[in-house]
């Protein structure tokens, strides 16, 4: 809203109500233009990040490089505090890629027992995206900063089976955007493609080796 006030006994001109809307329309137009530019920048940044990851997949980059790149791209795209790419194993959930704004990413190969109120466990139980906007102590050791408040996890499914999860966390009381789950899906699909390609290559190599020894 726009408010006009005047000191002293003289009131504002009677036509003020008719003249002020001209300014509010200009302000509204400027705000709409700024929001449109911000949305275009967001989409452009997201598409650029997806292209960089897709280029790694196309080149057949090692999974370790893929996981690290995805974690960083996602973390920077969402202005997050930390991002973890994790694999579900019988022994627990293992970090295979991570990024942190503090520069101290989670130790790769570290395992967290499944359980508690955290997005990695919720995704494992349901096979669906999960969100927690009020993280507490029960969120587990992967909540590495005391001010982290919001986390989203999205499943990585490889050829119909639940392989792992990408989780992203924000801090300073700032929740992640409402469309985070939807936007993360593009990255999980690329990771799933890279994993499927790597597994197919491993099987092909093993098959050829087996054929040579017959």
Predicted confidence (pLDDT) per residue in 166-182, tens digit: 999 987 767 888 899 99
pLDDT attached to residue 103: 78
pLDDT at 214 over 60: no
pLDDT attached to residue 166: 95
The dihedrals phi and psi of 156, each to the nearest 5 degrees, come to: -105, 115
pLDDT attached to residue 150: 86
Q: Give the domains, in start order, of the chain with CATH numbers.
A: 39-201 (3.30.450.40)
| Mean of the per-residue pLDDT values of the chain | 83
pLDDT at 189 over 80: yes
pLDDT at 128 over 90: yes
- Of 45, 58, 67, 35, the residue nearest 183 (C-alpha): 45
Contacts of 1 (CB under 8 A, 6+ apart): 24
145: pLDDT confidence band, cut at 50, 70 and 90?
A: very low
Q: What percent of the chain shows pLDDT beyond 70?
A: 86
Higher pLDDT, residue 51 or 114 = 51
d(CA 124, CA 133): 18
Q: What would the mean pLDDT of 24-48 be, rounded to a whole number?
A: 83
d(CA 53, CA 58): 9
Higher pLDDT, residue 148 or 16 = 16
Q: State the pTM of this model.
A: 0.73
Max avg pLDDT among 10-14, 84-88, 112-116, 170-174 = 84-88
Q: What would the mean pLDDT of 16-44 be, rounded to a whole number?
A: 83
């Amino acid at each position: 809203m726009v408010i006009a006030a005047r000191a002293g006994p003289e009131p504002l001109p009677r036509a003020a109500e008719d003249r002020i809307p001209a300014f509010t329309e200009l302000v509204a137009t400027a705000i709409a233009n700024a929001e449109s530019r911000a949305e275009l920048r967001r989409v452009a940044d997201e598409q650029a990040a997806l292209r960089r990851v897709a280029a790694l997949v196309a080149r057949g980059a090692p999974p370790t490089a893929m996981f690290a790149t995805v974690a960083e791209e996602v973390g920077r795209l969402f202005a997050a505090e930390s991002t973890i790419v994790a694999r579900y194993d019988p022994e627990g959930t293992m970090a295979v890629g991570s990024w942190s704004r503090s520069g101290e990413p989670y130790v790769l190969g570290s395992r967290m027992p499944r359980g508690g109120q955290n997005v990695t466990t919720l995704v494992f139980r349901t096979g669906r995206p999960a969100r927690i906007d009020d993280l507490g102590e029960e969120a587990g050791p992967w909540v590495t900063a005391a001010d982290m408040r919001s986390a989203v996890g999205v499943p990585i499914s490889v050829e119909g089976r639940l392989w792992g999860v990408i989780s992203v966390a924000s801090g300073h009381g700032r929740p992640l955007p409402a469309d985070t789950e939807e936007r993360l899906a593009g990255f999980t699909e690329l990771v799933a493609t890279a994993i499927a390609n790597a597994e197919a290559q491993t099987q092909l190599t093993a098959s050829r080796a087996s054929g040579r020894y017959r």
